[in-house]
Amino acid sequence: MVAPIISLVSSLLPIVFFILFCTRTRIKGLWVIFFYCITSLASDSLLNSTWGPNNKFLIWNIYTLIEYSFLSYFFYLIISLRSIKTLIVFVSIIYFIVFFLLYKNNSSQFNSVLTFISQVIILALCLIYIFSAMNQSTESLNILNPLFLIVIALLLYVASTLFLFIMANQLSEKEMNQYWGITLYSNILTNLLYSTAFLLYHFQNKKPPPESRTVDFTSPNDR
């Protein structure tokens, strides 16, 4: 019971760090992750409420769609290749259509297939971003930047939970509760990396203190 509480508390960290350090940023990608973190916290709170256990499949399915929307838009913003941007739009339209068709036919259980598809798409976009960044010249490549760290966080989360979502519908409720700890620990690590990214942005864009100026009384300008 400790891991769910820690996971829920960790969801607050990136929200607090963004409010403290990044509210003046003009980087749209950071704002997208901020609102995504708020949505994730709201989803976790609903699941832990008295209403949540009886409606967990509904919460998971809706969250899957919202999560994909935020993350696909995040990569649309940070990937500069026009062909990849066009591909994101095209794939997303197809995904939304398939999602609503399958959800309409079966809304009484967790749709692990759609979750798996969304995770695969996000995983592919993570790798595309990383490889495109590595192909840049060494002068323009900066691995220690907030957006790159966020992509690494997403990559780790998707890689660690992908196969759990594949088997979700084949697992009993007891087995699901047993293996769900993987998602909780992955969520904690991801939130810590998000918080680190927001803190990193703060230090990289922190204004230097004004230089102290000594007064020379022999100079006409200081008299």
What DSSP line would sit under 18-52, residue for residue? HHHHTTT---HHHHHHHHHHHHHHHHHHHHTSSSS
Q: Which two three-digit tokens encode residue 216? A: 């020379």
Please give the single-letter amino acid code of residue 183: T
Q: Quick one: DSSP state of residue 211? A: P
pLDDT of residue 137 exceeding 80: no
Tell me: pLDDT of 3 over 90. Answer: no
pLDDT of residue 90: 97
What's the token pair of residue 171?
């697992």
Taking only the tens place, the pLDDT of each residue in 105-130 is 665 566 677 888 899 999 999 999 99
Amino acid identity of residue 3, one-letter, is A
| Higher pLDDT among residues 86 and 216, named by residue | 86
Helical segments of the chain, H only: 2-10, 12-21, 28-47, 56-78, 82-105, 112-134, 146-166, 173-179, 181-204
Closest CA to 121 of 77, 164, 79, 155: 155
As a whole number of angstroms, the distance between CA 96 and CA 103 comes to 10
CA angle 184, 186, 187 (to 5 degrees): 65
Tokens of 25: 């940023």
Q: In the structure, what pLDDT confidence band is assigned to residue 100 with cuts at 50, 70 and 90?
A: confident
* The pair of three-digit structure tokens given for residue 153, joined into one six-digit string: 């966080």
Alpha-carbon distance 160 to 109, whole Å? Answer: 22
Report d(CA 158, CA 165) in Å as an integer: 10
Task: In whole angstroms, give the CA distance from residue 22 to residue 24.
Answer: 5
Task: Please determine, for residue 172, whether its predicted confidence score (pLDDT) is greater than 80.
Answer: no
User: Over the chain, what is the mean pLDDT?
Assistant: 83
Query: Which residue has better confidence, 60 or 148?
Result: 148
Predicted TM-score (pTM) of the model is 0.85
